[in-house]
Chain A
Amino acid sequence: MTEPILRVRNLRATVAGQQVVEDVTFDVPATGVTAVLGRNGVGKTSTLKALLGLYDRTGEVTLAGERIDRLSTDRIVRRGVGYVPEDREVFAGLTVAENLRLAERDASPRRELVADLFPDLVKRSAQRAGTLSGGQQQMVSLARALLNDNRLLLVDEPTKGLAPKIVTEVATALAEAAASAPVLLVEQNLEVISRLATTVVVIDAGRVVHTGDAAELLDDPDRIQRLLGVHTSENAA
């Protein structure tokens, strides 16, 4: 096994005086997709935000051998970390082209790749992002990250609330992205996980409760049940 791209040790984070990440430790391998699983509200999003310095945090985070837990968010990102946030967070008042232009941080952004992956966005480049459908906004959000050459991609629930056909498109784009950079993916959709993930990290109540091979976990419905609770009723709630 080669060196992990990201090492996380005893990560804790607080928001508004409340501890939302208790004690998180895991590695992200240098290739493939690492899926972060867990029920709603256990702290998956907060973990990603803490990694990026968007929440106040303590602990040790190492990206390709370099400590990044003291750096500001923009510095971490410029070290080569792409971020696709939960709920997309496109700039609604900016056009699609402006959203993408803002995200270009490399000297030679990969505009062709993005145009190939999301031809729809090219057509709508002058449209305000706020007027796009949810799926289109997700593509803008993914495209913003994929424009740059990343050492690691953090992707938070990219298929949340999307129609099945779009879910497939998003998963395809992610598979493409994973071919060139490791991905840390928060995802609730087990089908997407089984298609993409190589490794899994399960979080509960702000702590890591399981790490291991993805296929192994997916083959064990009882274990999934135990770790993730009753998934279907959770989604209904």
Chain B
Amino acid sequence: MSTIVLLLITGLGLGALYFLVASGLSLIYGLMGVLNFAHGSFLTLGAFAGWEVARRLGADSWGIFGLALVVGAAVGAAFAALTELLLVRRLYERHIEQVLVTVGLALATVALFEGTWGSDPEFIEGPAWLRSTTDVAGAPIPNDRFLAIGAAVLVLVGIVLFLRYTRFGLIIRAGVENRAMVTALGIDVRKAFTLVFAVGGAAAGLGGVLASQYFGYVSPHLGAHLLIFAFIVTVIGGLGSLTGAAVAAVLVAVLQQFANYYWGVGDLVVVLLLALVLLVRPSGLLGRSA
């Protein structure tokens, strides 16, 4: 029983990280039709930014950890917004080229991170509480899991509120459905493009700081590793669907944890799940059927 609880909560924590990456991917794809390969780099840079804050100001205070989270999110958002403004925008509506540019950016930035911080993982510090455990139904759960879950829930709620109650949110929701019609109502939808990149980048940057707590280290490849599972999550959840991303993130991560624990084949099971979903429902769990 306690094993199951442990696997479940750890899986939820991992799912939270997947969601933080996948939410941005899914929104960006839904609105702009762009598969953003550089999204992993937003996360990695956010993680390093948070790590630098903690390293310089002292790692074990909650205040500074909070600051690290904010800085990670801000750096992710700024990096993402610049990516949209300087690279993606120039290739308006040319989706393949847009993907290629983000691929180039991913390759170049990971190399740059390696050059700057070295290619080996840096082990991280944080508030002591994060490294201890809490008993849930007899299972000792590492506290960073709760933090990741809490943050992901907050981000989900935040994005949902933003989409529901702001004019930009309205434009984004409408744009995901029918971008051309949004422009035909006199709205410059490109402002919304920059905004979704920034929002997605902020979630990824935040995810970076949390992921480095979850895994215990930062490395230039942290983002690329999570990105692949985030891709799987977005396809399973249905491209462009935020709720789909949330559901699929939990599903994939929990399944992965259980399969890893009992058979040691978590990653393979996830790919099998993907194959299964594609065979049964090519548009994903909550995607619009094409």
Q: Do A and B come from one complex?
A: yes
Residues of chain A having any CB pair with chain B under 8 Å: 52, 54, 72-75, 77-78, 83, 85, 89, 91-94, 98, 101-103, 105, 144, 148
With A74-B189, A89-B178 already in contact, the answer to whether A98 and B170 are too (CB < 8 A) is yes
Contact A94 B185 (CB under 8 A): no
Closest residue of A by beta carbon distance from B180: A54
A91, chain B: closest CB distance, angstroms: 5
Once the chains bind, are A77 and B170 in contact (CB under 8 Å)? no
3 A-B pairs with the lowest CB-CB distances in the bound complex, closest first: A77-B186, A73-B183, A78-B186
Tell whether, in the assembled complex, residue B180 and residue A105 are in contact, meaning their CB atoms are under 8 Å apart: no
Q: Report B-chain residues with C-beta under 8 Å of the C-beta of A102.
A: 170-171, 174, 182, 185, 187
In whole angstroms, what is the CA distance A98 to B184 when docked?
Answer: 16
Enumerate chain B residues within 8 angstroms of A94, measured Cβ to Cβ.
170, 173-174, 177
Residues in A neighbouring B178, C-beta threshold 8 A: 89, 91
Count of interface residues, chain B, beta-carbon cutoff 8 Å: 17
**Residues A92 and B177 in contact, CB atoms below 8 Å apart:** yes
Please state if A105 and B184 are interface contacts (CB–CB under 8 Å). Answer: no
Closest A residue to B186 using CB positions = A77
B window 170-207: CB within 8 A of A: 170-171, 173-174, 177-178, 180-189
B170 contacts A74, CB within 8 Å?
Answer: no
- Contacting residue for A52 out of B184, B188, B189, CB 8 A: B184
Partner of A91 from the list B177, B188, B189 (CB cut-off 8 Å) is B177
Measured CA separation A195–B184 after assembly (Å): 28
CA distance A206 to B189 in the complex (A): 30
* CB <8 Å contact, B177 and A74: no
User: How near does chain A come to B172, taking the closest CB pair, in angstroms?
Assistant: 11
Q: Which residues of A contact B185 (CB under 8 A)?
A: 77, 83, 102-103, 105, 144
Q: Which residues of A contact B188 (CB under 8 A)?
A: 72, 74-75
Question: What CA separation (Å) do A54 and B179 show in the bound complex?
Answer: 11
Closest CB-CB distance, A150 to chain B, in whole Å? 10
Chain A residues near B167: list those with CB within 8 A. 101
B184: A residues at CB distance < 8 A? 52, 54, 73-74, 77, 83, 85
A144 surroundings in chain B (CB, below 8 A): 185
Residues of A within 8 A of B181 (CB): 85, 89, 91
B177, A93: Cβ atoms under 8 Å? yes
Q: Chain B contacts of A93 at CB under 8 A?
A: 173, 177
Instruction: Tell me the nearest residue of chain B to A89, going by C-beta.
Output: B181
Contact B187 A72 (CB under 8 A): no
Hey, which chain A residues are within 8 Å of B183, CB to CB?
54, 72-74, 77
Q: Report B-chain residues with C-beta under 8 Å of the C-beta of A77.
A: 183-186
Tell me how far the C-beta of A77 lies from the nearest C-beta in chain B, rounded to whole angstroms: 4
Does A74 lie within 8 Å of B187, measured CB to CB?
yes
State A91–B186 Cα separation when bound (angstroms): 15
Q: How far is the CA of A72 from the CA of B189 in the complex (A)?
A: 11
B163 shortest CB reach to chain A, Å: 11
